[in-house]
């Protein structure tokens, strides 16, 4: 029986990354695409509660969700497009235009699509492609398509390697296929942030701010495992297992004593 994959992203239904993902998997499984009608980068794991949402059908099993986030897309698709006993075998979010590493995962709409998938008990993967400039046309997704296809086939044939409420966060390097060095399992790096808020004034003199992009800066966590940042910038595909349980277990006893 042909496997079923549900796809979303946070760059919008017309993103070249989403097109590349579909091309990589079109003969691997039955694909259903539900993606935001507009770019929703850095929207986090947000649901839309204050306005209605509407599926707009673009093609067979291809929809954009008006005003929806990636989380909305997965949540509604699972409830409205699938029968109870015919849920997808896998959820894939991406291919994101730009990396999602370190604490950027908490901002990421791409990662959040995968988060929503594992909340509903479905194996999920977030794919992101490192880019020097996401506003440049003519992206080369050859390596990304190779990676997506290989990992997806491995999951569909051999099973998902993680347990309950855990997903794979995959970051694909700048390198072309010839320079690709292979796969490494990584930990989240320690992302370094600055303040890139730009103050402007409109013609009426009213102030407003644009939030810019931070440079890709990080620290290693001084553990034995290499970080996603280090590995991906050295030409490897970074695969990081992410769990939704954010409890700081090592602090529980000290906190109990403090209380």
For the domain that residue 122 is a member of, what is the CATH number? Answer: 3.40.1210.10
pLDDT of 37: 96
In a domain, 24, yes or no: yes
In a domain, 209, yes or no: no
Angle at 216 between CA 210 and CA 219, to 5 degrees: 125
In a domain, 167, yes or no: yes
Number of domains in the chain: 1
pLDDT recorded at residue 214: 74
Do the Cβ atoms of 254 and 190 come closer than 8 Å?
Answer: no
Query: What residues make up the domain containing 96?
Result: 4-191+222-258
Residue 58 within a domain: yes
Beta bridge partners of 243: 166
* 196 in a structural domain: no
Walking along the chain (259 residues) 10 residues at a time, the average pLDDT comes out as: 95 96 97 96 94 96 96 97 91 96 96 98 97 72 97 97 98 89 96 82 86 79 90 97 97 98
Main-chain dihedrals φ then ψ at residue 42, nearest 5 degrees: 60, 30
Residues 184 and 187: their CA atoms lie apart, in Å, by 10
Query: 215 in a domain, yes or no?
Result: no
170 occurs within a structural domain: yes
- Pairing mode, strands 197-201 and 207-211: antiparallel
Residue 187 lies in a domain: yes
Give the per-residue pLDDT at 205.
85
Q: Give the pLDDT of residue 135.
A: 67
Query: What pLDDT shows up at residue 249?
Result: 97
Tokens of 183: 């796969």
Cross-strand partners of 179: none
């Amino acid at each position: 029986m042909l496997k079923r994959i549900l796809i979303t992203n946070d760059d919008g239904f017309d993103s070249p990354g989403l097109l590349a993902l579909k091309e990589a998997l079109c003969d691997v499984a039955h694909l259903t695409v539900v993606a935001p009608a507009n770019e929703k980068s850095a929207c986090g794991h947000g649901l839309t509660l204050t306005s209605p949402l509407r599926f707009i059908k673009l093609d067979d099993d291809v929809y954009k969700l008006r005003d929806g986030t990636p989380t909305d897309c997965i949540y509604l698709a699972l409830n409205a497009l699938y029968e109870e006993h015919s849920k997808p075998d896998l959820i894939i979010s991406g291919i994101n235009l730009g990396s999602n590493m370190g604490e950027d995962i908490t901002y990421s709409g791409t990662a959040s699509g995968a988060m929503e998938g594992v909340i509903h008990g479905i194996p999920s993967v977030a794919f992101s492609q490192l880019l020097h400039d996401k506003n440049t046309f003519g992206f080369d997704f050859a390596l990304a398509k190779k990676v997506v296809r290989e990992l997806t086939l491995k999951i569909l044939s051999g099973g998902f390697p993680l347990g309950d409420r855990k997903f794979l966060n995959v970051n694909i390097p700048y390198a072309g296929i010839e320079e690709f060095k292979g796969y490494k399992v990584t930990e989240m790096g320690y992302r370094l942030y600055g303040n890139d808020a730009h103050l402007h004034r409109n013609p009426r003199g009213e102030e407003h701010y644009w939030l810019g992009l931070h440079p890709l800066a990080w620290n290693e966590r001084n553990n034995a495992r290499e970080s996603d940042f280090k590995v991906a910038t050295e030409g490897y595909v970074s695969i990081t297992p992410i769990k939704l349980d954010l409890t700081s277990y090592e602090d529980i006893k000290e906190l109990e004593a403090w209380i």
